[in-house]
Structures are given as structure tokens and as C-alpha cells.
Amino acid sequence: MTEIKLKTAIYVRVSTEEQAKEGISISAQIDRCQNYCKARSWKVINVYTDAGYSAGSMKRPGVQQLFKDLNENKFENILVYKFDRFSRNVRDLITFLDQLNEKQVNFTSVTENIDTTTAMGEAFFQMIGVFAQLERGMVKERVKLAFDKKISDGESLSRAPLGYIYNNGKLAIDKLNSKKIKTIFEMRVAGIHYKIISEKLNIPISTLYTIIKNPTYAGKVKYNGEIYEGTHKPIIDLDLFNNLNPQQSIKSNTLIDWVS
């Protein structure tokens, strides 16, 4: 990618009046960035500003508009006065730079010696990619550990199904709707067709299919294709569930102590 007429987006930010008094006001940053572009014959496409916003969050109007234009491929390069003008959250910055790398969009700072349009900058981008991959792997591991802990405690990982509500983070029986669940299973095991059950209880047939196959109602929790013992009270007994789901045929002694 040539540097001549490189389509560039400028991003500037200040969070407080005190910062502006220290010489890094919005206008001062814009001037420095525009002069930087002029010296390199870069074409300024747009200037994105966030005045009075902290760099601790990416929920800033200027950043959000920049993201939108990035996805529409409106520029090839992003220029900031200083990296912390864009973000002080290392994780956010690494994630963002990794996205830029995938889109082949450069990221340059006026005051720091990092310019991804150069060979050294390209190497920097590659290192960012490694760290981003590491971060994604660590997040995945943390999420799995959290899920494993919840499952080992018999907690549900999804929203409460019909017939249950959440009470202090635990599934609890909803007295009103649990009666519908019992009726559905009893009618189905009696051989009554789904269409008749649907009309009687005003529940879509597709929802009935999901209910019948959900082991939560038998006091179990399904995770990663395996069935585990839940800590919540069942609405129906296990034999009734197995009668309607012979392909699952859950045993009474489901796995409990499965996390080492």
C-alpha cells in the first residue's frame, strides 16, 4: 500500500478541561495530526472527535462513528496524536488493532514511534495479533471455567424455561406455569397429538417440541451434550421424561462430581 494520498481518518479526544489546559486540546491535536498528514501527502477523509469522554470505554460517539466508517471501508489509515487518546484500556486497544490488521487498515501515532505503514509497524501489528489471539484464548478458558463451575453447582446456563423463574440466581418453580408443563407431559404420554395440546394450551407446536425434550423439567442440566444433576426441583419425574425421550434415556444417577 503506497503512502501517497493514503486515505486517513484522524481521531482526537480530551476528557477534561484540565487536559486541554496542558496543551493537548482538541484543536491542538487536530492541527498536529493534519500537519503530520500534510508532510506525508496523506489525504484526510474525516476528523472524529470526542470531547469530554474518558478513554476507559469505547462507548464514545466519535469512536462509534469511526467503527461504522471502518466497516464501510472509508479509509486506509487511522491517525491519533497519542495512543492513549484512543484508548487507555490495553485489552480494548489490542482487540481494535487486531481488527485493523484483519482489514489491512494502518494505525499511526504522531507522538509515538509506531507507524504501521512501515516495516517495523507491520511487525508491531503481527505482535498485536499474537497478543489478541492469546487474549481470546484466555477469555475462552475463563468462560469455560465459569460455565464448569455453574454446571458443577447444578445451575442452569440459559434463561429460565417456561415453568421456572430465577430466584437469587437459582431456578425455582413457577407455580402457575409449572402446571402447564405437567399437563403437556401428561397429555403427550397419553398419546394426545401435539396439535391438540397446542390448541388447548395456546402454545406453539415448536415450543411444545422444545419443552418435551428439555431435561431441565426432570431436574437435570444439559451442557456440552452431556446431562448433569441440577440443584433445582423437577416439575416431572424422570421416568415420565424418559418415556417421551427414549433416545436420551437419562439415568437417575446422572453425573454430579464431574469437574476435577
pLDDT mean over 234-238: 92
CA distance 183 to 204: 15
- Phi, psi (deg, nearest 5) at residue 257: -90, 75
Cell numbers given for 27: 484543536
User: 140, 174, 197: which is the final residue of a domain?
Assistant: 140
Instruction: Please check whether residues 208 and 163 belong to one and the same domain.
Output: yes
Query: Does residue 148 fall inside a structural domain?
Result: no
CA distance 217 to 96: 43
Model confidence at 232: pLDDT above 70: yes
Mean pLDDT over residues 91-99, rounded? 75
CATH number at residue 69: 3.40.50.1390
Residues 158 and 135 in one domain: no
In the residue annotation, 15 being an active-site residue is answered as yes
Shared-domain flag, residues 176 and 62 = no
Q: 250 lies in a domain?
A: no
Please tell me whether the overall predicted TM-score, pTM, comes out greater than 0.85 for this model. Answer: no
What is the distance between the alpha carbons of residues 215 and 245, in angstroms, rounded to a whole number? 9
Measured between alpha carbons, how far is 37 from 117 in angstroms, rounded to an integer? 13
Question: Angle, to 10 degrees, between the axis of helix 205-212 and the axis of helix 175-189?
Answer: 90
Number of domains in the chain: 2
Q: Which residues contact 24 (CB under 8 A, 6 or more apart)?
A: 14, 81, 82, 85
Could you tell me the three cell numbers for 99? 481488527
Q: How far apart are CA 24 and CA 18, in angstroms?
A: 10
Residues 162 and 127 in one domain: no
Number of helices followed by number of strands (H, E) in the chain: 10, 8
Q: What is the dihedral of CA 87, 65, 46, 8, to 10 degrees?
A: 60
Quick: pLDDT tens for 149-208: 665 565 655 678 899 998 877 889 998 899 999 999 999 999 999 999 999 999 999 999
To which H or E segment does residue 228 belong?
Answer: strand 226-229
Catalytic residue, candidates 15, 25, 57, 152 = 15
Q: Please check whether residue 147 lies inside any domain of the structure.
A: no
Q: Are residues 132 and 162 in the same domain?
A: no
Shared-domain flag, residues 104 and 17: yes
Same domain as 223, residue 159: yes
Same domain assignment for residues 160 and 86: no
Hey, is 254 helix, strand or coil? coil
Q: For the segment 111-139, what is each residue's pLDDT rounded down to a tens digit? A: 877 766 677 766 766 676 566 566 667 76
Asked whether residue 45 is assigned to any structural domain, the reply reads yes
Kindly state whether residue 38 falls inside one of the protein's structural domains: yes
16 with 92, same domain? yes
Q: Are the C-beta atoms of 157 and 170 separated by less than 8 Å?
A: no
- Residue 210 belongs to domain with CATH number: 3.90.1750.20
Q: Do 33 and 113 fall within a single domain?
A: yes
Are 30 and 64 within one domain?
yes
Cell numbers describing residue 14: 480530551
The pLDDT value recorded for residue 175 is 87
Which of 137, 136, 108 is closest to 122 using CA atoms?
A: 108
User: Residues near 72 by Cβ (< 8 Å), separated by ≥ 6?
Assistant: none
Q: State percent of the chain over pLDDT 70.
A: 73
Task: Show the domain range for 169.
Answer: 154-244
pLDDT at 150: 63
Residues 16, 60 within the same domain: yes
